[in-house]
Structure 1
């Protein structure tokens, strides 16, 4: 039985399957692998490096933009955080004051404190601290201690005489923000001791000496006299505004 002439002709080509007409010509020499094939291992590596470099550059740009204020709302994921776990304040007492603060003195002292041992070289055992302390002292008159009969008014109501307690000095207030350690020397054994166990009371001794020096300086500075003068001027102005023509202020011996 005769068969049609085109019975052996392919009905269609397989998709993507190369035909003889599309195959490249063979050559006797070695052929190079096509670009992007198995032989091109550097392509993905270079791409990864480009991605990492771009990400690092973006982080640097964003951090710089936050610092300069271009993107103030950008939050730095590596920003430093501070956690406050302090306990709430406890009210221990309330004291009513009847003081008139008439003057205040601000002082600065230099404390040079050295602790060493006899017959021991300083490089081995020595501790010297040079501390600059700043503090203030108030001078006040305590009106709560005014005794009965301290205010005497004249018969015509034109003059008044007041006896006040002498001014006192308040507690020295050491300003730690303005105070600082200027220099410090420590021997070898002192440094080793600080590594093993620190001495938290070492600074307290320096602070206490600074407060004592400031208190002494306040007593010798004439702060009492300034407080007396300021209190007298305040009361004279107040009582004259009430109609008194003569006001006499005297201070009792403390």
Structure 2
């Protein structure tokens, strides 16, 4: 009697295991996409967001002696592309179109004005003031008016987003938007408008106090000694 020979199952090659794992991931991604387009299923499997943040803590208080005389609104479309050498964009790479909107304030530091920068005649009808030139504040990006238009990512980048939650994914385009907004503010006439508005404010204020002539110039003001 001949005993049948049992054949051992053939081992799956390593490349086949990788392809199987990749196919499983693609199936899961496709299933998640189908759930998002089928009415009712998205709400059934939806997530809830709850704010568990603690109260904000006051860390410091600083006196402000500057006069914010003008504010500029800016908008920039950031086109940021990241490529990997010798790797096709469909595999590894990203391109993001981001609309960044923000403001930049221009101010005059009245706290640096010293006694020698203000002169008044004996009749108190003429006043001369020397103020420092207007300066620009830091650009402030408005999150309510800033948004990503499109995001193109390679396969490896999309797979990385599935297994990790990266809150810094838009920080690069946001920093670039802030840099461009600051550059646009420096090339604008925002500081000149701030100095004009400051002059108009002081002329109106001192005029209401009885001064008939008010002369305002801008330059290097004498530092005000601090107590």
> Which TM-score applies when normalising by structure 2?
0.73
Corresponding residue for residue 114 of structure 1: 81
- Give the counterpart of 2:112 among 131, 135, 145: 145
- Give the counterpart of 2:142 among 152, 168, 175: 175
Q: Match of 2:51, SS? A: coil
Distance 1:86 1:98, change over 3 A: same
How far has the Cα of 1:242 moved from its partner?
Answer: 1.3
Corresponding residue for residue 196 of structure 2: 229
Greater relative contact order, per chain length (Cα 8 Å cut-off, separation 6+): 2
Considering fraction of residues, name the structure with more helix.
2
Verify: 1:130 aligned to 2:97, yes or no.
yes
Verify: 1:242 aligned to 2:209, yes or no.
yes
Q: Match of 1:205, SS? A: helix
Corresponding residue for residue 72 of structure 2: 105
How far has the Cα of 1:101 moved from its partner?
Answer: 0.9
2:131 touches 2:220 (CA, 8 Å); kept in 1?
Answer: no
Corresponding residue for residue 57 of structure 2: 90
- Give the counterpart of 2:125 among 158, 162, 178: 158
Task: Map Cα deviations across residues 49-93 of structure 1 (whole Å, 9 max, x no partner).
Answer: xxxxxxxxxxxxxxxxxxxxxxxxxxxxxxx98643211111111
Verify: 1:218 aligned to 2:218, yes or no.
no
Distance 1:111 1:232, change over 3 A: same
Q: Structure 1: give runs of 5+ residues left out of the alignment.
A: 1-79
Number of aligned residues:
175
Structure of larger gyration radius: 1
Q: Match of 2:144, SS? A: strand
How far has the Cα of 1:99 moved from its partner?
Answer: 1.5
> Which TM-score applies when normalising by structure 1?
0.65
CA distance in 2 between partners of 1:223 and 1:189 (Å): 45
How far has the Cα of 1:125 moved from its partner?
Answer: 1.0
Q: Match of 2:175, SS? A: helix
Q: Structure 2: give runs of 5+ residues left out of the alignment.
A: 1-46, 222-227
CA distance in 2 between partners of 1:234 and 1:84 (Å): 44
